[in-house]
Amino acid sequence: MSFYVTTPIYYVNAEPHLGHAYSTIGADVIARHMRQRGEDVFFVTGTDEHGEPVVVAAEAQNTTPQEMVDRNAPRFEALTETIDVSNDFFIRTTSPAHMAEVQNVWQQIHDNGYVYKGQYEGWYCPKCADFKSEHEIGEDNSCPIHHIPLDRESEESWFFKLSAFQEPLQKLFADNPEWVLPRHRYNEALSFIDGGLRDVALSRSKISWGVELPWDPSHVMYVWFDALLNYWTAPKIARPGEDLSGKFWPASVHVMAKDIIKFHAVYWPAMLMALGAPLPERMFVHGYLLMDGEKMSKSLGNVLDPVHVVELFGSDALRFYCFREVSFGNDGSISTAGFETRYNTELANEYGNLASRSLAMIKKYRDGIVPAKPVVTGLESDFAGTRESTQARFDKLELSGVLDDIWLLVRRLNRFVEEQAPWKLAKDESRAGELDATLYGLAEGLRTVSILLHPYIPKSTAKLMAAIGCAEQVDDFSLAEFGLGDGGQSIGELEPLFPKLESVEN
Ligand code: ME8
């Protein structure tokens, strides 16, 4: 089966920050998990490079829009590497291949009768690149998102007949109660539709930085009408000479934050309906990461700079923290203190140290060979049904819920060590069988949780799986079941997976 997952494409006129990293990591966790399930995955992220803000920023920097986007886009592409993201393609909307496909689509929508020429007059936010409808206008004609004054714009425009899709969109929502997740975002999008859809301006004649309308080159498209189509064009242009869209369209899930839900859950399906194309299967709308305003810690500096966090603690620590601290789907505060606590307690101690201790005991008491599978370890009931329940939660994209469940198992393994006290069992030859079962249970528990954790912390889990002699299993979700391992394999060396914070600072 094929699975296509996307992130928003980010505006290149700002620096990449943790908010961008968050969406991209979320999509990456989904992509990695689906690959573990044997799906043929196509995962796309990229940059949104047209629009008025780029023109304004380029002017301010005395450069051309093209030079500016060429300078900034690589920073976003570099971030994907920094945060260890496994995207299959990085799309840039200024690429000629994307622009040509966008023109094909709009020509088709034009030919299908869903555009017309008119005069636009209304309130416009240059930062949202969006005309605001009446109920979206803040006090004193300001933008409720950016808190800046809206501009009164009047110009000749081509319009997209969004209003024609009011009923089809209502039906789409009624027929697909999980089309937008989580549920409160579905309700938000539906109430926007129920409030009445008006036609939207599709083009601008006053600026030239954008994709020209094929039937009227004196107009360029509003950036959103070119940007949303990245999801459609990416499979067509990712591999020159090969069209992947037969395999990867419709998209399986678009991931984004709540700021751009209207475009994705309302405009985008309407555009595809106007084109006569199948709709994406699902949207997942997450919340905002908020800084709690506390003083920055010495070790972290600015936690909002993902590059800095990764330099100090590694990409896995950042990836883990975002999804453990903030429930995917809701807003949540992040803080340097929270990061340090989770890093030290959960990653360094509960996972990293559990692994080091377990391996050290297998080495010391059993010459580095994992004991053969015993009749019973005492952990079976804790792990029963884990693979199925994890899969079910992943299918609902509950990325934080999955992590919560896995962490209960990690904590169970820590308690197991204390309860069994292998160091005591080792002193009593008559309890050798119990010691075998305990050491097998630890290796097997670590193997299982590491496969489950792999999408979140790919580097550390790969190291740990190699050290317990199961390197090749890390990519296979079907093996994430306690008791499938026979034991008997040799273990290897394992450097500390998450060095304690003090040692990093020194
Ligand atoms: O809107 N918390 O681009 P953009 C969580 N180009 N996520 C955050 C965040 C935060 N504090 N800040 C940003 C655009 N994001 C358009 C998208 S798509 C066809 C075009 C993430 O650079 C989140 O995914 O403003 C949000 O939706 C996106 O960045 C906005 O990125």
Amino acid present at 275? L
Do 339 and 280 lie in one domain? The reply is no
The answer to whether the beta carbons of residues 16 and 262 sit under 8 Å apart is no
398, 276: one domain: no
Known active-site residue 117: no
Could you give the number of structural domains in the chain?
A: 2
Structure tokens at 305: 């700079």
Residue with token string 């399930």:
37
Q: Is 488 among the domain residues?
A: no
**Does ligand 1 lie within 6 Å of residue 54's CB atom?**
no
| Residue 23 Cβ contacting ligand 1 at under 6 Å | yes
CB 211 within 8 A of CB 50: yes
In tens digits, the chain (506 residues) has pLDDT values of 999 999 999 999 888 889 999 999 999 999 999 999 999 999 999 999 999 889 989 999 999 999 999 999 999 999 999 999 999 999 999 999 999 999 999 999 999 999 999 988 888 888 887 878 777 888 888 998 888 999 988 888 999 999 999 999 999 999 999 999 999 999 999 999 999 999 999 998 888 999 999 999 999 999 999 999 999 999 999 999 999 999 999 999 999 999 999 999 999 999 999 999 999 999 999 999 987 654 445 455 555 688 888 999 999 999 999 999 999 999 998 888 889 999 999 999 999 999 999 999 999 999 999 999 999 999 999 999 999 999 999 999 999 999 999 999 999 999 999 999 999 999 999 999 999 999 999 999 999 999 999 999 999 999 999 999 999 999 999 999 999 999 999 999 999 999 987 644 43
Same domain, 280 and 416: no
Domain assignment of residue 202, given as a range: 2-310
Report CA(440)–ligand 1 centroid distance (Å). Answer: 45
Identify whether 370 is part of a domain: yes
Is 58 contained in some domain?
yes
Neighbouring residues of 290: CB distance < 8 A, sequence distance ≥ 6: 331, 332, 333, 334
Same domain? For 243 and 388 the reply is no
Q: Compute the distance from residue 92 Cα to the ligand 1 centre, in Å.
A: 16
Between CA 274 and CA 109 the distance in angstroms is 6
Q: How far apart are CA 207 and CA 364, in angstroms?
A: 72
The CATH number given to whatever domain includes residue 24 is: 3.40.50.620
Whose Cα sits closest to atom 8 in ligand 1? 19
Q: What are phi and psi of 283, to 5 degrees?
A: -120, 140
Q: Which atom of ligand 1 is nearest to the CA of 23?
A: 24
- Residue 227 Cβ inside 6 Å of ligand 1? The answer reads yes
> Does residue 160 sit in the same domain as residue 293?
yes
Residue nearest to atom 2 of ligand 1 (CA): 288
CA of 24 to the centre of ligand 1 (A): 10
Tokens of 143: 């933008």
Beta bridge partner(s), residue 151: 124
Structure tokens at 427: 């002193």
